[in-house]
């Protein structure tokens, strides 16, 4: 019975018409042949590649400029300072040189007038006194700025031009330290190293007599060397050793004055217009230079030729532009990093002296120029972004009731109505009830 009801087994074998691929082989379906590119398509492809690379390059260049706007403004100010020095040198090469205090008076008078006119034309508020919140800082900028100017001019009366220049360029290093101490700004180790390297480059260019001998610019006669002086004094040292020691001390006082001026500018930031700073600085310089000429009974040299008047106007105009760019640059940059660009003035001075006074730089000057440029470029390209784009981090940790309450108070929108106390109480009761239910359920499972 069991055998009769059992169904017979029939083996299923493939028909001969059924084909299988050989074992261990893969079949490929041929892809369609690509369409032939026309010359027009090839040109479009090259054009798109070029545009892509161009946009990428311009984007990187734009980011570099925006990231170093303050540094570039300070560097541009040094170019106009160098142009101003060319006019000063030309005036001092005249038969009747213009005294230093008179040059300061003319330059700062033009700066003061231009600053006031600009603020009245553009309706800048508080043109004479500045904004109420930064008037003390503006006064300190003018006060320290005067001592910076006074220190360098007094030291040039007894020190050589190269020695005074080296002392002046201590200001950027001191400014970086002052910004880190008083303004809590970042002054990294790489900025310190770059500043020291730039200072070494300045030493190679200026070649102070104490390090390189009595003739700091080989290849020039004494008359030619005296002709390139930019402030109306003989560059060789004079006076007694005690007087030169006092001159060094006052030069260091001038360095501290410049440090205070730069730090004050950075502390002011963008709370005041750049012209407010120029007005305060020029006011102090005009007043003090006037008092100095009266006390010294210094005769005023009146220009008698058109080129005199032109150069005096150039001194005032270039000085005004340079001070404006310097102020705007230091408002946008940290004190230590922004003043690093001050070293670039040496490079502009070498180039302009070659053009106008036919002075060929020596090998040491070229070496110092390369060091300064390399340090400035290193500082520019290695700057970290102020607000780098970072991925948003999500925390799942319970912050606690106090932190939650602080966050709600901080981000509360005043436009939304507050919940009624009754609704808050009901919400708390529902929350407590839910916690109680969960606790009972956990106990029942155990």
pLDDT tens track for 269-313: 888 888 898 899 999 889 888 988 899 888 888 877 888 888 888
What number is the average pLDDT over the span 404-426? Answer: 47
**Which region holds residue 442: left if phi is over 0, alpha if psi is between -120 and 50, else beta?**
alpha
The pLDDT score that the predictor gives to residue 78 is 86
Q: Do residues 162 and 235 make contact, with C-beta atoms less than 8 angstroms apart?
A: yes
pLDDT(130) > 60:
yes
pLDDT tier at 393, thresholds 50, 70, 90: very low
Share of the chain above pLDDT 70, in %: 63
Rounded to whole angstroms, the Cα distance separating 333 from 70 reads 5
Comparing 50 with 20, the larger pLDDT belongs to 50
Cβ contacts of 53 within 8 Å, gap of 6 or more: none
More confident residue, 236 or 255: 255
What is the mean predicted confidence (pLDDT) over 309-331? Answer: 87
**321 falls in which pLDDT band (50, 70, 90)?**
very high
pLDDT band at 440 (very low <50, low <70, confident <90, very high): low
Mean pLDDT of 8-30: 54
The winner for highest mean pLDDT among 322-336, 395-409, 423-437 is: 322-336
278 vs 25, higher pLDDT: 278
Q: What angle do CA 356, 148, 271 make, to 5 degrees?
A: 105
Q: What is the pLDDT of residue 429?
A: 65
60-100 pLDDT tens trace: 888 777 778 888 888 899 899 888 878 877 776 676 777 87
The answer to pTM > 0.85 is: no
Q: Are 349 and 83 in contact (CB under 8 A)?
A: no
Q: What's the confidence (pLDDT) of residue 423? A: 58
Flag whether pLDDT at 129 surpasses 80: yes
pLDDT value at residue 381 = 65
pLDDT on residue 426: 62
pLDDT-derived band of residue 227, with 50, 70 and 90 as boundaries? very low
Counting residues of the chain whose pLDDT is more than 90, the rounded percentage is: 6
Q: What confidence score (pLDDT) does residue 437 get?
A: 53
- Mean pLDDT in residue range 206-233: 51
323: confidence class by pLDDT, cuts 50, 70, 90: confident
Is pLDDT larger for residue 68 or for residue 228?
A: 68
| Mean model confidence pLDDT for the chain | 72
Q: Which residue has the higher pLDDT, 395 or 387?
A: 387
For 344-372, the pLDDT digits (tens) are 777 787 788 778 877 777 788 788 778 87
| Mean pLDDT (whole number) for 327-348 | 76
Kindly state the average pLDDT of the residues 89-115.
80
pLDDT at 80: 92
Confidence band for 231, pLDDT divided at 50, 70 and 90:
very low
């Amino acid at each position: 019975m069991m055998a009769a009801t059992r169904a017979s087994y029939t083996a299923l074998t493939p028909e001969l018409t059924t084909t299988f691929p050989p074992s261990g082989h893969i079949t490929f379906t041929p892809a369609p042949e690509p369409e032939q590119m026309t010359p027009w398509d090839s040109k479009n492809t090259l054009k798109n590649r070029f545009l892509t690379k161009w946009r990428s390059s311009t984007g990187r260049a734009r980011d570099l400029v925006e990231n170093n706007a303050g540094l570039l403004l300070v560097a541009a100010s040094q170019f106009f300072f160098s142009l101003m020095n060319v006019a000063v040198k030309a005036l001092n090469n005249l038969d009747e040189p213009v005294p230093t205090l008179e040059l300061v008076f003319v330059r700062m008078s033009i700066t003061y007038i231009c600053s006031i006119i600009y603020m009245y034309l553009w309706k800048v508020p508080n043109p004479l006194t500045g904004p109420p919140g930064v008037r003390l800082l503006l006064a300190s900028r003018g006060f320290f700025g005067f001592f910076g100017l006074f220190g360098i001019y007094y030291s040039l009366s007894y020190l050589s031009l190269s020695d005074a220049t080296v002392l002046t360029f201590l200001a950027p290093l001191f400014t970086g330290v002052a910004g880190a101490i008083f303004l809590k700004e970042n002054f990294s180790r790489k900025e310190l190293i770059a500043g020291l390297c730039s200072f070494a480059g300045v030493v190679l260019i200026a070649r102070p007599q104490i390090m390189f001998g009595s003739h700091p610019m080989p290849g020039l006669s004494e008359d030619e060397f005296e002709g390139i002086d930019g402030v109306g004094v003989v560059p060789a040292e004079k006076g007694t050793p005690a007087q030169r020691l006092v001159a060094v001390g006052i030069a260091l006082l001038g360095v501290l004055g410049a440090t205070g001026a730069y730090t004050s500018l950075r502390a002011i930031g963008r709370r005041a217009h750049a012209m407010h700073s120029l007005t305060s600085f020029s006011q102090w310089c005009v007043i003090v230079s006037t008092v100095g000429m009266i006390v010294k009974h210094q005769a005023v040299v009146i220009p008698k030729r058109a080129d005199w008047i032109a150069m005096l106007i150039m001194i005032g105009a270039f000085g005004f532009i340079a001070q404006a760019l310097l102020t705007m640059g230091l408002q946008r940059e940290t004190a230590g990093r922004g003043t690093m660009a001050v070293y670039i003035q040496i490079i502009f001075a070498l180039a302009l002296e070659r053009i106008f006074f036919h002075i060929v730089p020596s090998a040491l000057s070229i070496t110092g120029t390369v060091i300064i440029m390399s340090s400035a470029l290193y500082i520019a390209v290695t700057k970290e972004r102020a607000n780098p784009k970072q991925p948003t981090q999500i925390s799942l940790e319970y912050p606690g009731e106090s932190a939650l309450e602080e966050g709600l108070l901080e981000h509360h929108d005043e436009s939304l109505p507050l919940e009624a106390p009754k609704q808050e109480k009901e919400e708390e009761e529902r929350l407590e009830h839910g916690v109680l239910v969960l606790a009972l359920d956990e106990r029942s499972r155990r």
